[in-house]
Amino acid sequence: MTTSPTPEGTPDVPAQVFEEFLQALGAAGASAELVARLRKTLLEDRTFSERALKEAVLAEEPLP
Amino acid sequence: MIRVESIAIREFRGIRDLTLDFKGKSFAICGPNGTGKSGVVDALEFVLTGNVSRLSGEGTGDISLKQHGPHVDRRNDPDKSRVTVKVTIPSLSKTVTIERNLKTPADAHVTPSDPAVLEVLRQVRAHPEIVLSRRELIKYVLATPGKRAEEVQALLHLDQVEQVRVGLQKIANNCDKQLIPLGTVVTQARENLLRALGVCELTKDNVLAAANAQRSILGLPAIADLTGSISLKDGMATPTPAKPQRIPKAQALADIRAAREALTEITSVTTTARVADVTADLTALANDPAVAAAVKREAFYATGMDLIEAGACPLCDKRWDLDGLKKHVQTKLDHLKEVSGRRIAAETKIAPLIAALRKAQAAINTVVGYAALAAPPVAIEAARDYSAHCGTAVERLAALLPLAETITVLTKIPIVPQAVLDAIGALEKTVAALPEPTKQDAAREWLTVAQERLEVWREAMREQKVAKEQAQRARHVSDIYATTSDKVLAGIYAAVEKDFASLYGFINRDDEDKFKAQLIPSMGKLGFDVDFYGRGLFPPGAYHSEGHQDGMGLCLYLALMRHLQGSGFTFAVLDDVLMSVDAGHRREVCTLLKGEFPNTQFIMTTHDPIWLRHMRTEGIIGGRVQFRNWSVDQGPTRWDARDVWTEIEDYRKENDVRAAAALLRHYLEYESAELCHRLRAPVEFRGDAQYQLGELLPAAIRRMRELYRHAKEAGNSWNQKEIVEQLAAREAKFVKLAATSNAEQWQVNVAVHYNSWDNLSKEDFAPVVNAFRDLLGGFTCSDCNDYLRVSPDRETPESVRCECGKTNINLRKKSA
């Protein structure tokens, strides 16, 4: 297994876990919007509070 | 990431003013307990991370970095308490100075502070695990699987991974919890609708058939399809406001029957038995004071956890690091897991009682509404009060605590006051006595009530549908996250497990070279089993000794750090981590660190001078400092020759010969032990290793003279006359120094024994001091001033040499 290195050569394991999770979530049929919201929370904003996660997971989904 | 060149510590913890020059190499700090070693460790952690884990972690109570980080005499002057390090960043080929003070611990003054440097220092700050104490190390080995996972994850900076797992799981659980009351609302709305429609099964055809039958009475067209935008009342004239509202007789009677049924359920045998069961459980909990208190605490912490939002304690408003506070509360919750299990079991049993009470409350509220329409009005206060009582009881049961109050409420649940039944009976009689409405009025009432209840049911269904979708989504997300993170972590742990077994097998290769280990991650836990001499895999604390457990902790730490920091693992502070490891295995640890981690700078503390010697002999450390003692006023004092001789001279000048003599004796004892070790001098063995100066220094002198003799013999065997002459001169000089000190006479001449130094005048003591200073100089290399040593340190001696290599005296004779 390889971990994505930071500029210092230190692998960022949380980022790798989040990336693999988002890919698995997409492959399991989750909506693109849900994956995008979680990507923003976990990988861009790097906020992990329950409130932030709840907003990402439970936000109203667009109608099919 | 970094290597530390030097550190300057001012007014920090127990240190007044201390500078250590690591030269970017591994370094050892040795000294008895309480001499300030950990102060250096704290200073390193502080300057690199802005925190001192010993002052801010679990169990530190009222201690805080800002208040208790400064030296005790500078506690009101935190800006004077500062630490400065000079570090090199190998990846940038830069040298950087970092300074922090305790007034503004979060602000580091970095020079130069270009973005690349700041990014590296940010990463260092994000890895406080560079400092490892024995207390922390042993946690990884002996902790429960849940606690170990937490510790290892913190060590690996995987707490974010765990935080997300816990967060997603909590969201999913809360969504599931919300479905229960929503289900009750839907059921009640459905039952009310069925009663209004007068059908047994809620199907579109049944609703349309019933509604169209009523509509035909009013001459309204039949509704072909039941969609959200169509009302059962479409086309029906609105009643004129002046007309008093009528009680829909048939519907009211049906609703009164439903209320009676709900009250019957409350007083049923099933409910009574359920109440008895839950009451017994709660009484058992309440009768155990420890459990009752723990239930309270657990509920308090769980509520507190939900309220932590803005980095402040919800109770006292004290500012905390948000993640730190959550972790702190979560730790307390984890400790109360058993209590939590019993609480959840009780709540599960209480849930049907809450549903029955809600059902009765809703049914009574419906009939109470009819009473107000009756003329003359029917006295229904008892039913209204009972409805309120049901609401209060629901709140009490849902809150659970205090247990005593919940038990009191529980025992009253199966009792429905007769006044309630009487009031409902009176209302039923009044409604039954109402004149039958005309067919048209009845149809209008029917359609009005049916439409109202259809809308209520639809809204309840909509809310339930949204909640179900959210619950399914949240569970799906949580499950996939758990599976994915376990998979990724399993991969990491598999690699770490292999490396750990290899490292531990190396330091124990004398008897555990085939050592195996298992790290088993699962749902936020981390099982850890180790092989015990081929007899199977067991928890580390099961059969292995404390020393082996220390070794395991260190090897696990090294394996984890190597895997996760990769080439960035360039610096680590090991604070007395091998306390219980025996000398032989420490030697192996030295070999391991030197061979496996050649690019990592280790700063190591120990109270054991023998371990320090091992580190020096094995060449693992490039420098060392040995603390002698510590005082509040001065901080640590080191065994530094310059400091010691100055201090002795100061005492002597002040005519405190007693103190000067004591210090000289103590210092000579320390140095003599070092000399005996370096020269491999034979000393009568003592099991307690408590050697006295009279045993050590004469042995070192004898050994030095013996080595000169061997060296001369060797020189003669090689026919190296010039070298032999040089050796003879050195020997003569040394013999003279030894004779001046009288040290060799201690065994036979008590008059010159060091015990009599206390009685000398300051003038008489001066030559004694000079004699011993010169004598110690006789054991050193004239170039580097370091003590000479016999090489190798085991087996047949081959040479006497110094660290700089200038002195290299051959001891091997030419073969005959």
Domain layout of chain A by residue ranges: 25-58
Distance from CA of B470 to the nearest CA of A (A): 6
Burial (Cβ within 10 Å: 0-12, 13-18, ≥19) of residue B147? middle
Distance from CA of B360 to the nearest CA of A (A): 33
One DSSP character per residue, B25-54 reads: S-EEEE-STTSSHHHHHHHHHHHHHS--HH
Question: Cα(B429)–Cα(B419) distance, rounded to whole angstroms?
Answer: 15
Give the number of C-alpha atoms closer than 13 A to the C-alpha of residue B282, restricted to the C-beta side: 26
Question: Which distant-in-sequence residues (6+ apart) come within 8 Å of B160 by Cβ?
Answer: A14, A46, A48
Whether the Cβ atoms of residue B196 and residue B250 lie closer than 8 Å to each other: no
Residues in B closer than 8 angstroms to A13, CB to CB, are 156-158, 161, 488, 492, 564
Residue B790 β-bridge partners: B800
| Residue that the structure tokens 């109608």 belong to | A63
Beta strands B789-791 and B635-638 are unpaired
Domains of chain B, earliest start first: 3-126+570-638 (3.40.50.300), 641-810 (no CATH)
Question: Which distant-in-sequence residues (6+ apart) come within 8 Å of A16 by Cβ?
Answer: A3, A4, B488
Size of interface A-B (CB pairs under 8 A): 107
Containing H/E element for B77?
none
Question: Cα(B109)–Cα(B735) distance, rounded to whole angstroms?
Answer: 55
Give per-residue pLDDT as tens, B413-467: 999 999 999 999 999 999 998 888 888 888 988 999 899 999 999 999 999 999 9
CA torsion sign for B725, B726, B732, B735 is negative
Whether the Cβ atoms of residue B25 and residue B602 lie closer than 8 Å to each other: no
Secondary structure letter of residue B758 according to DSSP: G
Intervals of chain B under pLDDT 70:
56-63, 128, 138-139, 141-143, 146, 149-150, 152-157, 238-245, 289-296, 298-299, 302-329, 331-336, 521-525, 641-642, 747-752, 816
How many helices (H) and strands (E) would you count in chain A? 3, 0
- Which token pair is B766? 């001066």
End-to-end CA distance of chain A: 38
Whether the Cβ atoms of residue B331 and residue B58 lie closer than 8 Å to each other: yes
Burial B368-384 (b: 16+ CB within 10 A, else e): bebbeebeeebebebbb
Q: Report the pLDDT value the prediction gives residue B744, as an integer from 0 to 100.
A: 73
Q: 3-state DSSP call for residue B810?
A: strand
Residues in A closer than 8 angstroms to B170, CB to CB, are 50
Give the number of C-alpha atoms closer than 13 A to the C-alpha of residue B422, restricted to the C-beta side: 6
| Residue that the structure tokens 């070298």 belong to | B723
Tens digit of pLDDT at every position of chain A (64 positions): 344 445 455 567 788 899 999 999 999 999 999 999 999 999 998 888 889 999 999 987 655 4
**Residue contact B485–A38, C-beta within 8 A:** no
Q: How far is CA B174 from the centre of its chain?
A: 26
Question: Cα(B268)–Cα(B661) distance, rounded to whole angstroms?
Answer: 94
Residues in B closer than 8 angstroms to A54, CB to CB, are 167, 171
Burial (Cβ within 10 Å: 0-12, 13-18, ≥19) of residue B316? exposed
Of A6, A17, A34, the CB nearest to B484: A17
Question: Cα(B686)–Cα(A9) distance, rounded to whole angstroms?
Answer: 50
Angle at B430 between CA B428 and CA B433, to 5 degrees: 105
For chain B, say whether A2 makes contact (Cβ under 8 Å): no
Containing H/E element for B571?
strand B571-575
Helix axes B159-197, B439-507, angle to 10 degrees: 160
**Residue contact B566–A9, C-beta within 8 A:** yes
**Residue contact A21–B480, C-beta within 8 A:** yes
Q: Report the pLDDT value the prediction gives residue A62, as an integer from 0 to 100.
A: 59
One DSSP character per residue, B594-651 reads: HHH-TT-EEEEEES-HHHHHHHHHTT--SEEEEEEEEETTTEEEE--HHHHHHHHHHH
Does the complex come out with an ipTM higher than 0.85?
Answer: yes
**Residue contact B171–A48, C-beta within 8 A:** no
Question: Cα(B524)–Cα(B146) distance, rounded to whole angstroms?
Answer: 6
Residue B637 β-bridge partners: B629
CA torsion sign for B273, B279, B282, B283 is negative
Q: Amino acid identity, residue B742?
A: N
Residues in A closer than 8 angstroms to B168, CB to CB, are 53, 57
Q: Which candidate in B2, B87, B164, B498 is best for mutational testing of the A interface (most A CBs within 10 A)?
A: B164
Whether the Cβ atoms of residue B18 and residue B9 lie closer than 8 Å to each other: yes
Question: Cα(B392)–Cα(B266) distance, rounded to whole angstroms?
Answer: 15
Q: 3-state DSSP call for residue B98?
A: strand
Angle at B136 between CA B130 and CA B139, to 5 degrees: 135
**Residue contact A1–B1, C-beta within 8 A:** no
Burial (Cβ within 10 Å: 0-12, 13-18, ≥19) of residue B164? buried
Question: Cα(B530)–Cα(B552) distance, rounded to whole angstroms?
Answer: 9
Distance from CA of B198 to the nearest CA of A (A): 35
Burial (Cβ within 10 Å: 0-12, 13-18, ≥19) of residue B417? middle
- Which token pair is B4? 């530390």
Angle at B123 between CA B117 and CA B127, to 5 degrees: 145
Give per-residue pLDDT as tens, B524-533: 567 778 888 8
**Residue contact A13–B487, C-beta within 8 A:** no
Question: Cα(B626)–Cα(B369) distance, rounded to whole angstroms?
Answer: 88
Whether the Cβ atoms of residue B718 and residue B814 lie closer than 8 Å to each other: yes
**Residue contact B156–A50, C-beta within 8 A:** no
Q: Report the pLDDT value the prediction gives residue A5, as an integer from 0 to 100.
A: 46
Q: Rg of chain A's alpha carbons, rounded to an integer?
A: 13
Whether the Cβ atoms of residue B795 and residue B809 lie closer than 8 Å to each other: no
Instruction: Give the C-alpha distances (Å, rounded to integers) separating A42 from A13, A48, A55, B158.
Output: 13, 7, 12, 13
For chain B, what's the residue count? 816
One DSSP character per residue, B244-287 reads: PPPP-HHHHHHHHHHHHHHHHHHTSHHHHHHHHHHHHHHHHHHH
Is 0.80 topped by the overall pTM?
A: no
Q: How far is CA B336 from the centre of its chain?
A: 16
Secondary structure letter of residue B538 according to DSSP: E
Q: Give residue ranges of B with CB < 8 Å to any A CB.
A: 1, 91, 116, 119-120, 123, 127, 156-158, 160-161, 163-164, 167-168, 170-171, 175, 309, 322, 469-470, 473-474, 476-477, 480-481, 483-485, 487-489, 491-492, 495, 564-568
- Which token pair is B440? 């048209």
Containing H/E element for B325?
helix B322-335
Whether the Cβ atoms of residue B159 and residue B129 lie closer than 8 Å to each other: no
Of A1, A48, A54, the CB nearest to B492: A1
**Residue contact B568–A30, C-beta within 8 A:** no
Nearest one of B304, B307, B286 to B295, comparing CA atoms: B286
